[in-house]
Amino acid sequence: MVWCSWVFETMTGVIHAPIDLPKFAWSVDVSDSSLATLKDKGVGDLDLSGVTVPWGSVPGDTMQAKRRILAPDRYGIMLAWASQHDLDMGLIGKPVVAASIGVRTDTAIDTSFNLTSPFGLLDHRYLVREGKYGTGKNGTSPDSIKFTNLSYRGIASEIGWQCTDAKPSGALPIDWTYRGERGTRTREYSAWDIQNNGCRKLLTDLSNIQNGPDMQLRPYLPDQGHLRFAFLAGSDSDIWLGQKEVHSLGYAPYAGALDELTVDHLGAVHRVYASGAGTDAAQITAVAEDLTLLRKPGVNWPLRESTYSDSDTDNLAVLKAHAAGMLAANDRPLMQITASVYAADTNTDGAQSFPVGDIWPGELVKLDIRDYPPLPDGVYSTRLMRMSGDNTNKIELVFDVMEDISV
């Protein structure tokens, strides 16, 4: 079982050739996984970094061909986990990370480059109709795009489609899964406000509101010659990503898949002061609070307040939703479990202890923890929020915050 890497075409997802990466670091997450006071959730992202490749490892018969196949933006790198069966059958394996090539620096002996995730590409796409910007009277942009009676993920899919397939040479190998999904949500975006209509920002804003859905672009192979990304998001009624099965991981001294288990703890935030658009006394403001913990008899818990600011939000209801969402993520004492696993480890049945490519951030995991002094023995239900690693088979895991059982 090994990591294998391939060059693919950014726009079409066509897989061109294998490439040997001697060293790299990677990560996949579903949202902000940090244990920090007043954090935004955000959209799930992936990253591949620290890539330096000797010219001899770059596919191509000539230096011109080698330079061309690593052209920034036009091509990308896919990282897949291949089992021995995959290798024996000549299969690619299961894609985990894929990103387009960004800034590239060449030397006489090698080339190094950073990579831009799919959401990073969407950072440079804006929601505006073709031919409608600056075409109004006196160069104005009165046009707007309104989405009505859709779910949040339906709106997100429409935004994504408008920012990719609806633009010239804008297509990316992304399945905008929920286009047209009916619901009760409405959003309108004005062309004149284009600086706030970046695709990634709009998707992030939808995810960050109270009860906003998780969002993720997950790589998959429709066949052995193409890479695509499935846009996955929670629904209005269940904001978490769906999954086919609940995964189980165990910890015990000298046993179980989990290693290097740690638990972090953080206190609660009880009140959030939010400020939006406007200046001075005309600025719109909102407050969200939950003083339940402070009012418990016999509990002397100090008040913690914080602030949130978004000068681009001119809708009071939206500002209140953002403040409530920030508070909901931090309104009780929290703890967070982190651990490591080894992707090449197998259990007594010969199956992978941690099935890379089948388990993803955002999915529910049951942690069976035994003989670990900081926590009582038991099964802890949480979500995998982030996994990261390098060219070895060691993978670091970060799980979702949960209510602190020690309080």
Residue extents of the structural domains in the chain: 2-117, 137-233, 247-265+334-403, 268-328
Pair of tokens at residue 48: 């591949």
What share of the chain has pLDDT > 90, as a percent? 76
Count Cβ atoms below 10 Å from residue 378 Cβ, excluding itself. 11
pLDDT at residue 314 is higher than 90 = no
Domain 268-328, what architecture?
Answer: 2-Layer Sandwich (3.30)
- pLDDT, tens digit (0-9, with 9 covering 90-100), for 180-202: 999 999 999 999 999 999 999 99
229 bridge partner residues: 174, 219
Mean pLDDT of the chain: 92
DSSP string, 372-405: -TTS-SEEEEEEEEEEEEESSSEEEEEEPPEE-T
Helix (H, G, I), strand (E, B) or coil at 187: strand
What share of the chain has pLDDT > 70, as a percent? 97
Distances (CA, A) of 337 to 98, 258, 269, 390: 27, 11, 20, 21
pTM: 0.86
Q: Report pLDDT for 33.
A: 47
Distances (CA, A) of 324 to 150, 185, 209, 295, 402: 22, 18, 8, 20, 18
Give me the sheet containing 215-223, strands edge to edge: 174-175, 226-233, 215-223
H-only helix segments in 183-249: 199-208
Residues in the chain: 407
* H or E element at residue 192: none
Reading phi first (left if > 0) and then psi (alpha if -120 to 50, else beta), residue 96 is in alpha
Q: Report pLDDT for 46.
A: 78
Count Cβ atoms below 10 Å from residue 358 Cβ, excluding itself. 14
44-73 burial code (b ≥16 CB/10 A, e <16)? bbbbbeebbbebebbebeeeeebeebbebe
Looking at residue 214, the DSSP 8-state letter turns out to be P
